[in-house]
Amino acid sequence: MRQALMVMLAISVFACQQPTKTEDAPVASSKILENPELSSRVESMLSYPQAAGMPRCLEPDGEVRQVGTRDWTSGFFPGELWMVYELSGDERFKNAAEFWTQKMEPEQFDDHTHDTGFKINCSYGNALEQTGNEAYKEVMIQTAKTLSGRFSLEVGCTRSWDFNKDVWQYPVIIDNMMNLELLFKATQLSGDSTYYHIAYAHAMTTLENHFREDNSSYHVLDYDPETGEVLGKYTHQGYADESSWARGQAWGLYGFTMAYRFTKEPKFLLQAAKIHDYIFGQLPEDDLIPAWDYNDPDLDKPKDASAAAITASALYELAGYTNDGHMIDKANQIVNTLQSNYLHEQAGDKDVFLLDHSTGNKPKNDEIDVPINYADYYFLEALVRQKETK
């Protein structure tokens, strides 16, 4: 099967298309979210200064870290606005979402990162689903063409990072499963099966190589770009090479659930179920918000609300494929805990964050126990999916 996939990919031809600018939508008024505490927090997104960079996280001194659109997290804030619009129907959030989404337009041509999938799918992907605007479709397709250029027939995966070339020859991280969604969607939008085959091959290669016997995942695999052989298995953001980085497990759960959505490949569904079993085998029943790494021996190790939010969102979808009501119960428990105990007390005109207690990169002593935008994004997505299950 793998050889056939590689043949199909080898004969595919990629072309570039220029996107079309979008138009601003008219202003209207409607309702806000049902949870009053959450409503007051999402309202702050509308007053975020338009001249500012994308809000990524809150620094320990209370300042908002602003980033440009090249940052891998830049698409989450526009995506959050689209999520609030979907939850509330409030046109003000649609207008704001359109403004911040159009700032992401140049990223469709960024061929130096695998995270164009995150950046464009979370912004333009949500915009397309909410509006049907054909201009958004063209950006999605062009991004898929750009991302496809990072795929290796020999390895069977898209390359993750370009840095640390003295350390890794061809790194592939578990997070990269998330970028496959844009490729799958691009095939649906364009009719070009190339993107589907790339995404399928990447998921299958990850399934074969990234997981331990207990179905926990390594963070980084290094491949020989000439032969596709696995050269080493490491971490970059976890406690140790052999430890279980919590957000990495959540990326895997979400990624294989999503891959099953588009492919109906039983192996992907089975792997998602195995990751689910691993994650909840590590957590006490009364506290489903994980520490940043399941194997950190420090008794005071920080939590990672982002891992919990990603997991909850994935569980709502996975439950629909497995008919396992306990998965919905766990997702509801996570969402309820985040709303009850993890809402962030905002301060300042740029503080638009919703959740506290996420951990970005503890080994680098960066973004530890702070609000981070991707925690908010997947939390809001979980609320959307929760609403759909009722």
**Residue found under tokens 């905002």:** 346
- Given a contact cutoff of 8 angstroms between Cβ atoms, the answer to whether 199 and 256 are in contact is no
What distance in Å separates the CA atoms of residue 75 and residue 70, rounded to the nearest whole number?
10
pLDDT number for residue 9: 53
DSSP-assigned states of every residue in 68-83:
-TTSTTTTHHHHHHHH
76 phi, psi to nearest 5 deg: -70, -40
- pTM, to two decimals: 0.92
Element housing 64 (H / E) = strand 64-67
The dihedral formed by the CA atoms of 81, 117, 335 and 385, expressed in degrees to the nearest 10: 80
Tens-digit pLDDT profile for the chain (390 aa)?
Answer: 555 455 445 444 333 333 333 334 333 333 468 889 999 999 999 999 999 999 999 998 999 999 999 999 999 999 999 999 999 999 999 999 999 999 999 999 999 999 999 999 999 999 999 999 999 999 999 999 999 999 999 999 999 999 888 889 999 999 999 999 999 999 999 999 999 999 999 999 999 999 999 999 999 999 999 999 999 999 999 999 999 999 999 999 999 999 999 999 999 999 999 999 999 999 999 999 999 999 999 999 999 999 999 999 999 999 999 999 999 999 999 999 999 999 999 988 899 999 999 999 999 999 999 999 999 999 999 999 999 998
Burial class (CB in 10 A: 0-12, 13-18, 19+), 226: exposed
Looking at the domain that runs over 2-389, which CATH code has it been given?
1.50.10.10
Residues with active-site annotation: 115, 175
